[in-house]
Structure 1
Amino acid sequence: MWASGNDADRFDIFYSDAAGSARTMRVDGAGRILRDVAADALVSGGGIFNTLSTIHENLFAGDTGAWIIGLSGLVLLGNLAFGLRLAWPRKGMWKRSMLAAPRGPTAGRLQGWHRLLGLWLALPAAAVVAAGVLLAFEDGVEEVLHAVIAPPAAHVRLGSAAAGAQKRVGPGTALALALREYPGATLSALAFPSGGEPWYRIRLRARGEMTRIWGATTLFVSQANGEIVGGRGSIRPLARRFVDALYPVHTGQIGGIAGRCLVGVIGILLVAMIALGTGLWLARRGPERASARADSAPQASKGAP
């Protein structure tokens, strides 16, 4: 179960029905069902947003798609760096390069706007894209930085299994115990116990965390006795905090509404730069093709009988 990114009192519950089909149920804070749709719905019941997210993350191709997305992000990073190197103004030309509106013939104006947008956009876009690339390879990044969230130790599993005959702790009690550890925190996600993992995994947004929709404070609460058997708090190792910051940076959540708007503008301007670059190529190609035809005409006339 995950808290909805739109409202604090909306939750999405992911479950399998009696037939084994995956479904997503949205409920409000009082437990009233707002919608219940197939988890693989592409458009209906809010499925369009999941579809767009999946395309962005892995192209509906699992790990292979994630690799493609990550590698394409690396290519984009390289293009940004190379373009910034080419557009870097000479000494004393920064003000004019950053503020003056391009003028002149069509090709010159297109090149000028492409360069102007690139100078303003390159660094913030590089930060957003770099965070996205690292997210595409998040599991590997966690391993390299030793920032993996370790589950409870084996003896906890055995102890919980041995206590299976006792009255088990329900999700409401487990959540209350987690919130007691972090007063003022809000629920971000809750995963129920499974056969090999007899604990609740609870993710909270605690006070003092980086601005974001979903928090990064994770606790494991034993289903057998309600004991907190593992997890990490809001004060985390630097490597873990770095990994946790990737998503807020990539989505702009780190800056609240303003940050998310900024990321949206960056995306629009990247598309605009593609359009300007394409227009510049076409504007230059027209005269070149006309010149090539003009040069070939005399040759053709000389070769005629």
Structure 2
Amino acid sequence: MSRVVVTGRIPEAALEKLRAEHEVDAWTGQDSIDRDELLRRVAGADAIVSLLTERIDGELLDAAGPQLRVVANVAVGYDNIDVPACRERDVVATNTPGVLTEATADIAFGLILMATRRLGEGERLIRSGTAWKWGMFFLLGSSLQGKTLGVVGMGGIGQATARRAKAFGMEVVYQSRSEIDPAVAEELGARRVELDELLSVSDVVSLHCPYGPATHHLIGAEQLAAMKESAYLVNTARGPIIDEEALAAALRAGLIAGAGLDVYEHEPRVHPDLLDLDNVALVPHLGSATVETRTAMATLAADNAIAVLARQEPPTPIR
């Protein structure tokens, strides 16, 4: 039996799969595992099933030892994994694309509605006990019908978000490294544009691109200034794609109308200037947070680890 280290709590269904064939050492603490404890536990591991809260780098791979075969990340994003370091050591790295597409698109569109219809402000008002009265100009928001959604990163989640936008009567433009399937583009009525044009024409900008050096602070002061004053920015991808300090300044100055964030630049810390603003909706990284999705993610990660340990091709390797 091979030894599998699981770096955080995952659904029991995935653990049962792993335990059926291998020895499993799973962290069960409520908080993330301490780095020193993680380095100690991975020693001698044949497989690591990792969460996005753990940094998988050369130090950790060396701590595991030369017998390590696979790192199976329970996430579609893998900015927490040093993939070149894995390749240098002949360690297969995998992720979990596809299974969280619809759940994350739901959150993206939920944030769009929260921001444009000021739902967070309304709930805070009710919970505060502040007196209120219906009126023609009370908490006016912005409608979506006939407006333009700009999707940055038109992969599976971006396309799923665009489908929701289409159902709400929105037009869709997108910026992506490559053209999407022509049939999908026709279905969505989506037009590919450069980022500058997307920012200038969109009423809502939704970020779905992967995070890396090329997308660090992709949205900063210059890009926010290029958006419409009536526009909204939504991020369900990775926090550092946005310069949070620049975003807070833009929201405070009225350069854009509002924002909705599920992820943060220095997660779990949120830039303090954002916390004082009513025109930003903030939720704590809930993109994949359904029972069904998290179970599917963990099970796919387990399948990836089991396949590599059996000297088979994993379902979803990182290319």
| Larger RCO (alpha carbons 8 Å, 6+ apart) | 2
TM-score (structure 2 length as normaliser): 0.21
TM-score (structure 1 length as normaliser): 0.22
Name the structure with the higher helix share. Answer: 1
